Amino acid sequence: MQQALRIPVSSVEETDGKDAIGPAEAFRPVRKPSVSPAKPETRGLPLVIRDLRKSFGDNQVLRGIELEIPAGQFVAIVGQSGCGKSTLLRLIAGLDKPTSGTISFGDTAARSEDIRVMFQEPRLLPWARVLANAEVGLGRDRKAAGAHDRAKQALEEVGLAEKRDQWPSVLSGGQKQRVALARALVSGPRLLAFDEPLGALDALTRIAMQRLLERVWIDQTFTAILVTHDVAEAVALADRVLVIEDGRVAEDISVDLPRPRRRGSAELATLEGSILGQLLGPGTAG
C-alpha cells in the first residue's frame, strides 16, 4: 500500500532508499534523528523564505521572516495567538499573497498538487462520500484513470478503507480529520502544511493522530510544516521548532531526539519546558 501511494512526481529523485524497507516495517521509523539538511532519499520540497512581510491594512503581521527549510524536514511553528504563525502558513500554502518578500521551493517548479494544506477543520464536502472526498485531493488528476484506486489507497493509509462509502456526517471528529489527511496525501504532495489540524480533537485521538502524521511523513518523505499552539506536540513530532514572535522568527530550536519519541520522556519535557519559558516569558513555565 505504501508502494501505491508513492506517486511518481515528475522532477524528483525517486525514493530509492526506502525500497529496502519491507511493508511490515513501514510504520517503524528507520530514519536517523536528523537535523542534517537535505536527506538524499527525500522527495520533499525545500523551502527558502526571504524577507517575507505581510500586512493587513495598518497591521503588520509578518515583519521580515528569514527561513530555510531543507527538503523532507518536519518543522513545527509555535507562538502565541496572533503572532502570525497561521499567516505564515497561509502564505507558504499560497492561500494569501505576501505584501513583499519571496517564497521559493528550491530549483524545481512546484505544481499546485505538490503543496497541500490540512486545515484545523476537516472541511469535507458533506454531500460527497468519503471516497469522493479523498478524490478531491487529486486536483487536476481527478478525471484521470486510476483516480479511484489512488483515493482508496490513501484511505487505506489512514486506516479508513472500510468507511469509503459513508457520508462524512456519520464519522467521528478524528475520522473526519483522517479523511482530510487522506485527501491531502492522495496527490503525493512534496510539501504538506498543517494548520493546527489536531486542535479540535480530544487528547487520546490527538495522540493517535500525531502518530499517524509521523508515520505518513516517514513513509512518504514530504516536507512537513506544522503550525500548533501545543508545544508538547511540536517537540514530539518535529525535527525543528520555530518560535514566532512579533512577526519574526525569535527562536530556531533543533530537536535532536531519536524517533519514535516516547511521550512524557524527560528530554521531551525539558525541551518543552524551555520553549514554553520562551513563549510565556521568564519565570512562568516550569
Task: Look up cell 482508496; give the residue.
Answer: 152
Tell whether residue 10 is a contact of other proteins (CB under 8 A).
no
136 binds other proteins (CB under 8 A): yes
For other proteins, the closer CB: 78 or 89 = 89
| Smallest distance from other proteins to CB 128, Å | 7
Nearer to other proteins, 93 or 279 (CB): 93
Task: Annotate 235-249 with DSSP letters as a single string.
Answer: HHH-SEEEEEETTEE
Q: Does 128 bind other proteins (CB under 8 A)?
A: yes
Q: Which of 100, 127, 252, 280 binds other proteins (CB under 8 A)?
A: 127
Does 144 sit near other proteins (CB under 8 A)?
no
CB 63 within 8 A of CB 246: yes
Q: What is the dihedral of CA 209, 204, 31, 264, to 10 degrees?
A: 150
Sole binder of other proteins in the list 4, 12, 26, 95 (CB under 8 A): 95
Quick check: 147 binds other proteins (CB under 8 A)?
Answer: no
How many chain residues are in contact with other proteins, going by CB under 8 A? Answer: 22
Q: What are the two backbone dihedrals, phi and then psi, of residue 131, each rounded to the nearest 5 degrees?
A: -65, -45
> Which range in 47-55, 75-83, 119-127, 201-209 contacts other proteins by CB under 8 A?
119-127
Q: Is residue 56 within the footprint of other proteins (CB under 8 A)? A: no
89 makes contact with other proteins (CB under 8 A): no
Candidate list 17, 33, 119, 208; residue touching other proteins; CB under 8 A: 119
- In a 3-state reduction of DSSP, which class is residue 112? helix
Candidate list 47, 76, 91, 117; residue touching other proteins; CB under 8 A = 117
Beta bridge partners of residue 49, listed in sequence order = 67, 103
Grouping H, G, I as helix, E, B as strand and the rest as coil, residue 161 is: helix
Stretch that binds other proteins, among 29-37, 90-98, 247-255, 267-275 (CB under 8 A): 90-98
In Å, what is the CA distance from 216 to each residue of 5, 89, 172?
10, 20, 21
List the one residue from 51, 66, 68, 140 that touches other proteins (CB under 8 A). 140
- The residue within the footprint of other proteins, chosen from 76, 113, 214, 219 (CB under 8 A), is 113
Which residue in this structure is represented by grid cell 503572532?
83
Give the shortest CB-121-to-other proteins separation in angstroms. 6
**Cβ atoms within 10 Å of 203's Cβ, excluding its own:** 8
Query: Could you tell me which stretch among 45-53, 133-141, 238-246, 254-262 binds other proteins (CB under 8 A)?
Result: 133-141
User: Rounded to an integer, what distance in angstroms lies between the CA atom of residue 12 and that of residue 71?
Assistant: 11
Instruction: Indicate the burial class of 29 (C-beta count within 10 angstroms; 0-12, 13-18, 19 or more).
Output: middle
- Binding of other proteins at residue 27 (CB under 8 A)? no
Ordered alpha helix ranges (H), the chain: 2-5, 85-92, 130-136, 147-157, 173-185, 203-220, 231-237, 266-280
What residues numbered 163-182 form the site for other proteins, per CB under 8 A? Answer: 167-169
Q: Which residues bind other proteins (CB under 8 A)?
A: 93-95, 112-113, 116-117, 119, 121, 123, 125-128, 136-137, 139-140, 167-169, 183
